[in-house]
Amino acid sequence: MMQLWQLETLLLQKDTYLSYSQALSYTSQALSQNLQGLRKKGRIRRMSTKLVYYLEENWKMIWVVSLWIMVMIGLFTWKFFQYKQKSAFKVMGYCLLTAKGAAETLKFNMALILMPVCRNTITWLRSTKLGLFVPFDDNINFHKTIAAAISIGVILHVGNHLACDFPRLISSSNDKYKKFLKNDFGSPKPTYIDLVKGTEGVTGVLMVIFMAIAFTLATRWFRRNLIKLPKPFDRITGFNAFWYSHHLFVIVYVLLIIHGEFLYLVHIWYRRTTWMYLAVPVLLYAGERILRFFRSGFSTVRLLKVAIYPGGVLTLQMSKPPQFRYKSGQYMFVQCPAVSPFEWHPFSITSAPGDDYLSVHIRQLGDWTQAVKRLFSEVCEPPVAGKSGLLRADEATKKSLPKLLIDGPYGAPAQDYSKYDVLLLVGLGIGATPFISILKDLLNNIVKMEEQADSVSDAGKASDVSVASSNESTTPNRVPSKRKKTLKTTNAYFYWVTREQGSFDWFKGVMNEVAELDQRGVIEMHNYLTSVYEEGDARSALITMVQALNHAKNGVDIVSGTRVRTHFARPKWKNVLSKLSSKHCNARIGVFYCGAPVLAKELSKLCYELNQKGSTKFEFHKEHF
């Protein structure tokens, strides 16, 4: 029961409550206002600033793509002038040269496109010094870029053959044909149908058809169900259609090798170079798939706990195989044979490396995730009183839980968090998953550090002066180095933005654990609920005051049900980053983001602008899936 004096205090101090969670000091406010100066500069200055910003943010990708383009230009030019010396040029003209130049780039790109999807190799390479110069985290974007170049190469190669040099060949005079082309195409002179129905023509046409299907279904509109088609054509949209159609490339590569061995104008075997381009990448990719097959078979897991939370989120907690070693921020692939024996889907690992289990949080978004949720809903039971979640299951459940296979772990940007002095972790909705493992790992390190400090202190008190001096060269020298490694990250700020109140149930246990055990205030957490008007708005004043009073009295937030205070509306990111810049001068701050691309651009730009203003350096990283 609230007494009269408590109500009076609440109303008199409403301004304090309303600004309870606004993290903006006068210093940071002034600094954020200084950023407005960039907008007042001249047009040329603004353009040069944007150009410098773009170059600094994307220099890794720029040099890789530039090198790739130069290699393609070199290959195209080499083949162009090589075929200009052949007698076939006299009849087929520049159409032949363009087709052959495009063919050489196609061989190169069909080999190269496999490299970005060799995930085990990339995970290893990103941990080497090569990761300082090559943007391995942009592997999928580079894969898509190569695919676009292949599309252009196919149009040039096939178009010039079918619409230009083949017609020139069949329309050439008999004298010209016998003089320049008879040795290559034989006698009598072939017809257009003869050229198309030959081994080269049939394999080429089949490759174009299969590649067109795979490329089309891999586009964003089809892959994400943005195109609504009537039944039964709706089955060609969605992730399943993308996944299965992409495996047509196994046939494409077989056809490509056959196509490369039956060339009209090349008669010496070692000059048919298609297999030379493909040998290493295909073997590497095949090796990765074989490794993945056997590793997933050995990495058998036993489901320990299942929970289905509001917002369509399925939480799976499973046993950790002895050989499965990972870093916080990494992800793994999950397969549920009961849903599909072929499909593997990536999910961020939400357990910490120090935990004796593995966990993932899966949101219901596509057809596969919907099927998995339905499957687990059948074996789950209603929640025990006092526990969150709609449905639960564990080892005590009478019904047997579906079998799961896992493969991984694989590298991601967030795994490099430990090299930064300060962390800013930003997750939108289910995008918080990569950072939950980091928070738990930081918390485990904090607890270990305090236990270590206590043990060192106790050992120092209990030991004799002579014993202490004799151990001076061992224990004291080892402990500080270990503690220094643990203390590399001094602070972490976690911002979780979601539209649904029920989402806070997903990680309630983690947030309460951090709030309880982090006595030194290393981790600062902020929950934002965007479906409520922002703090300070009259329409949310009452809930803000009641929320603040309950949090002050009981230590529990009435919105999230945790010890972490919930803010309303969206964070003012300029204010957030400005405060960190002022608070952590000369620090190296890692900004990790997982969510919609629009906010990624805003955060990246703010990091760049603040880097130009002060001694604090922000480094922005975005998760790619």
| DSSP string covering 35-57 | GGGGGGS-HHHHHHHHHHHHHHH
Please say whether the beta carbons of 323 and 359 come within 8 A.
Answer: no
Distance of alpha carbon 353 from alpha carbon 405, whole angstroms: 19
pLDDT, position 240: 79
Q: What is the per-residue burial (b if ≥16 Cβ within 10 Å, else e) of 100-125? A: bbbbbbbbbbbbbbbbbebbbbbbeb
Distance of alpha carbon 102 from alpha carbon 85, whole angstroms: 17
Copy the structure tokens of residue 550. Answer: 């309950």
pLDDT, position 454: 65
> Would the CATH topology of 299-411 be identical to that of 415-446+487-622?
no
Please say whether the beta carbons of 416 and 584 come within 8 A.
Answer: no
Please say whether the beta carbons of 431 and 417 come within 8 A.
Answer: no
pLDDT, position 548: 54
DSSP annotation of 594 reads E
pLDDT, position 501: 65
pLDDT, position 484: 42
- State which residues of the chain have pLDDT below 70: 1-41, 297-299, 382-399, 450-487, 501-504, 518-519, 531-566, 624-625
Please say whether the beta carbons of 520 and 509 come within 8 A.
Answer: no
Domain limits, the chain: 55-197+268-295, 299-411, 415-446+487-622
Residue whose token pair is 């047509």 = 248
pLDDT, position 576: 87
DSSP per residue over 307-355, as a string? EEETTTEEEEEEEPPTT----TT-EEEEE-TTT-SS--EEEEB-S-TTS
Amino acid at position 268, single letter: I
Class of domain 299-411: mainly beta
Distance of alpha carbon 245 from alpha carbon 238, whole angstroms: 11
| Fold (CATH) for 415-446+487-622 | Rossmann fold (3.40.50)
Q: Are strands 405-410 and 345-348 parallel, antiparallel or unpaired?
A: unpaired
- Nearest CA-CA partner of 313 in 226, 388, 400: 388
594 forms beta bridges with 427
pLDDT, position 147: 94
